[in-house]
Each structure stands twice: as C-alpha cells, then as structure tokens.
Structure 1
Amino acid sequence: MKLTALVDNTRLDNRTDLAVERGLSLHLSTMGRQVLFDAGSSKAFCDNAALLNVKIQDIDAAVISHRHHDHCNGVSHFLERNSKALVHFRECEETDYCFKAFGFKTNVGIDKNLLPNAKERFNFVNKTTEIFPNIFIITKISSKYKQPKGNQYLFTNSGMGCKPDTFDHELLMIIKESDGLIVFTGCAHSGVLNMVETAVALFPDTRIKAVVGGFHLVGLPLFNSIGGSKKDIEAIGQTLLSYPIDKLYTGHCTGMKAYGLLKGVLGDRLEYLPTGRSVVI
C-alpha cells in the first residue's frame, strides 16, 4: 500500500506549498484500488492532491470515519471532481454535533446541505461491509477499553437538548493485504485500543502492519492539552505494545503533547504523518 496524507494539522517542513487545516484526509492505493479516507473540512485536500500527484477523479471510493466537519465537509469538493466513486458513511440518526467547554459552544458537525444534495452518491453502512475485496468498513467497535477523555467536550442534539456524543456515527476501516492488516482510525473517538481490539477479534492471528489516523488524545485543542494525565497516555502506549502492530502513523487529533508521550513508549514504532508525507506499508 502507498499512503499519502493529503491534509493534516501540520505539513512537511519542505512543503510550504501545501495547505494545512485542522482536519484529516488520507489517500491510499492498494490491490488495484484507490480510496480516500476522510475529506477534511474544505477543498484543501483537493488542492494538495494536485501537488502530490494524486488524481481525485481516479479514486474508486471514499470512506468517511465520522460526521465531524473536519473529516467530512470536504466531500462536496470531492463530488465536484470525481464522478464515479461512492462515499461511504456509517448510518445513524440525524442530529447536531457540538463542542462545549467552559461556557463556550460551537457546531462541529457535518454541513447539513451535504447529504440531501447528492443522495445517489452516498452509501450508508450499518454492518460490516466489504466495499471491495479485502477492504472492510466496520461499524461494531469493541468497548473493552475506556473512550478518550477528550470526548467529554463533544455532544449531540437531536432536538431534545444536548447529550454526550455516543459516536454511533463512527466507523473503522480495515484493509487486509496478503501480508497483514492496515487499520484506519479517523479520530478514534471510540478509542484506538478498542479499534485495534476490534481488528484483532475480526482477524485473529493476523499481523497488523500499521494503524493509521488520529487517536483523539488531545484535550482542549486550542491549548493542545492532553486528554487525561501523562500516566493515562503512557498506559495507552504500553497497551498498544501488547498487540501485534508493526507501525503506527498518527497526527491530527492525537495532539503534539500526547504524541511526545506515546513516542517515549512506542519509540520507532510510532511516526507522525503530516500533510505531504507518503509511506509504503
């Protein structure tokens, strides 16, 4: 698999021509298919794709990890540039998504005009679905471990007041290549450990070549705080070491402070994946 970060919060130091945003979009090419995993919050990923030799029009499918704007609002720009690919979402009830902390509240959800305007291009998934041979969308995610503490600031409102977000709009993507799995987490609001546990349960005794995406270990993004204590983050790293994972590529909502703590535990197994970086897995 060749994997390229089309947009992330940061970029390669030598690629000042690339746009950044607080969002995530990844392009992958494997087994004769091209997949877009998340679409950021704007057309930045499309602009960057042109500079990274990625042709949006040739992508075979898009998979959206969850319905927060920084992962899905760029879909409208994807649809303008790609006339063939289905965009896969997890099926869930319609609701508003918001961030609340210390009296501050803001909408963090999907653009409500997006879904009604292109219904024929969307596929809503409510069970494990193999969108192409050995490319799986998973909707039932383990709850063995606690969810990230940063989730405490995220809510939904379907017209009956704000309630903590249960993340029933989040999915997991797993790609099974001949020599192992690649697990895509999006923001891992369900918990990166739960996502890894899900992959291990579905594909027992199978090597995990890589875990890719954000781990939502940031607390308050504005202050780049960590979600939980130093001990909490290091414990997540120690548990990840107990799984058969070769590499972890992360960025976005992991947060730089939490990344540093994880790096201290995971060492060379963990790498940052900024805008513009490509890796072969």
Structure 2
Amino acid sequence: MILTSLIDNTRLNHRTDLTIERGLSIHVSTMGKSILFDAGSSRAFCDNAALLNVDIKAVDAAVISHRHHDHCNGVNHFIDNNSKAQVYFRECEKTNYIFKAFGFESNVGINKQLLTNATNRLTFVNQLTEIFPNIFIITNLVDKYPEPKGNKYLFTDSEGCCKPDTFDHELLLVIKEDDGLVVFTGCAHSGVLNMIETAVNSFPTAKIKAVVGGFHLVGLPLFNSIGGTKQQIEEIGKLMLNYPIDKLYTGHCTGMKAYNILKGVLGERLEYFPTGRSISI
C-alpha cells in the first residue's frame, strides 16, 4: 500500500510548491485500487495531486470520514475531475454543524448543495460495507473510551435546536491486506482509541500495520491548545501501546502540542504525515 498526503495543515519543508489548508485528504493505492480518503475543504487537494503524480481521474472510490467542511467540501472538485467514482458518506440526519466557543460561533459543516447537486455520485451507508474486496467502511463505532475533549466546542443545530454533536456522521475506513490492517481515522471525533477498538473487534485475528489520520487531540485549533491535560494525552499513548499496532501516522487535528506529547510515549511508532509525504506500508 502506498499512501500520499494530498492535504494537511503542514507540508514537507522542501515542497513549497504544494498548497496547505486546515484539512485532510489522503490518497491510497492498494490491491489494484485507487482510493481517496477525505477531500479537504477546497480544490487544493486536486492541485497538489497533480504535483504528486496522483491521478484524480483514476480514483475508484472516495470515502468521506465525516461532514465537517475541512474533510468534505472538496468533494465538488473531486466530482468535477473524476467521472466514475462513487463518494461514500455515513448516512445520518440532515443538520447544521456548528463550532461554538467564548461567544464565537461558525458553521463548520458540509456545503449542503453538494448533497443535492450530485446525488447519482453519492452513496450513504449505515452498516459495515465492503466497497471493494477487503476495503471496508465501518459505521458502528464502539464507545469504550471517552471522546476527545475538543468535542465540547462542536454542536449540531437542526431547526433551532442546538445540541452537542454526537458524531453519528463519522465512519471508519479499514483496508485489510494479507499482512494486516490499515485503519483510517479522519478526525477521530469518536475517539481514536474507540476507532482502534472497533477495528480490533471487527478483525480480531489481524494485526494493525498502521493507524492513519487525525486524532482530534487539539483543543482550540486557533491557539493549538491541547484537548485535556498532558497526563490524559500521555494515557492515550500508553493505551495505544496495548494494541497490536506497528505504526501511527498523524497530523491535522491531532495538533502539534499533543503530537509531541504522544511522541514522548510512542517514540518511533508515531510519525507526522504532512502534505506531500508518501509512505509505503
């Protein structure tokens, strides 16, 4: 499997030609299939793909981790540049997604026109779905561990009823190769440990070659604060060590402060995955 980071908050130092944004998009090449996992918030991932020798026209499927703009609003541009691939979302109630903190409020949800303008290209799933042989979308996520502390700023607003986001729009992508699983977390609003636990429960005899994506350990993104305490993030890292995971590649909503705390626990198992980086797993 070859993974290429098309969009992240940061980029490789020597790739100043690449665009960055606060978002996530990863290209996956595996078992003869080309998969896009998330699409950032603009056409930047498409522009970067051309510079990284990734052919968006050849992508066989796009999987969108959840309905926040920084993961899905680039789908319009994906559809403009790819005429064949289905785009997979988790099925959920239609609502608005809101960020609220200290009197500030903003819409952080999907561009709703996307859901009506390209209905023939969108597939909504509400159960474990094998979209290609050994490529799985999982929607039933366990809740063994607490959710990220940063979730406290995120809400849904439907017909004037504002309530904490339950993240019933979030899914997990798991790819099963002969030598193990690769687990894609998106933002892991449900909790990265819960997503890992879900993968282990779904494939109990398989080791995990890698966990890839954001872990949502940031508190307030503008200030790059950590969600929770240093001790709580260290505990997450220690619990990760209990799972059969070879490597973790992260970025985006993990936050650099939290990343450095995790790095102190996980060492070489944890690596950053900035825009422009390709890895072979």
- After TM superposition, the score normalised by the length of structure 1 is 1.00
Code of the residue aligned with 1:70 in structure 2: it is D
Which residue is 1:21 aligned to? Answer: 21
Q: Give how far 1:161 is off.
A: 1.9
Alignment size in residue pairs: 281
Cα distance in structure 2, aligned partners of 1:160 and 1:220:
25
> Map of 1:139-154 to 2, 5 A cutoff?
139-154=139-154
Distance 1:194 1:112 in 2: 29
Q: How far did 1:219 drift?
A: 0.1
Distance 2:111 2:215 in 1: 23
Per-residue CA deviation, residues 116-174 of structure 1 (Å, 9 max, x unaligned), is 00000000000000000000000000100000000000000111421000000000000
1:194 Cα deviation from its structure 2 partner: 0.1
Q: 1:167 is matched with which residue?
A: 167
Determine the C-alpha separation between the residues in 2 that align with 1:162 and 1:258.
29
Q: Percent identity?
A: 74
Give the 3-state SS of the residue equivalent to 1:162 in structure 2: strand
Measure the CA separation in 1 of the matches of 2:138 and 2:202.
10
Offset, 1:98: 0.5
Q: How does 1:1-281 map to 2 (within 5 A)?
A: 1-281=1-281
* Superposed displacement of residue 23, structure 1: 0.2
> Which secondary structure state, in structure 1, belongs to the residue aligned with residue 175 of structure 2?
strand
Shift of 1:112: 1.1
- 2 CA distance for matches of 1:63 and 1:166? 20
Aligned letter for 1:73? N
Letter in 2 for 1:11: R
Stretches of structure 1 that go unaligned for 5 or more consecutive residues are none
- In 2, the alpha carbon distance for the partners of 1:60 and 1:112 equals 24
Distance in 2 between the 1:205 and 1:256 partners? 33
> How far 1:205 moved relative to its partner?
2.3
Separation in structure 2 between the aligned mates of residue 73 and residue 88 of structure 1, nearest angstrom: 13
Q: Deviations over 1:35-86 (max 9, x none)?
A: 0000000000000000000000000000000000000000000000000000
| Paired AA for residue 90 in structure 1 | R
- C-alpha distance in structure 2 between counterparts of 1:104 and 1:222, whole Å: 12
- TM-score, normalised relative to structure 2: 1.00
Q: Hey, what's the Cα distance between the residues in 2 that align with 1:252 and 1:93?
A: 26
**Counterpart AA for 2:125:** V
Q: For residue 203 of structure 1, what is the amino acid of its counterpart? A: F
Amino acid in the other structure paired with 1:74? G
Return the letter of the residue paired with 1:246: D
Aligned residue type for 2:97: Y
* Structure 2: runs of 5 or more not aligned: none
Report runs of 4+ in structure 1 exceeding 4 Å deviation.
Answer: none
Deviation per residue, 1:75-123 (Å, 9 max, x gap): 0000000000000000001000010000000000000111100000000
Aligned equivalents of 1:207 and 1:139: distance in 2?
A: 20
Between 197-206 and 268-277, report the one with greater CA deviation. 197-206
What SS does structure 1 have at the residue aligned with 2:113? coil
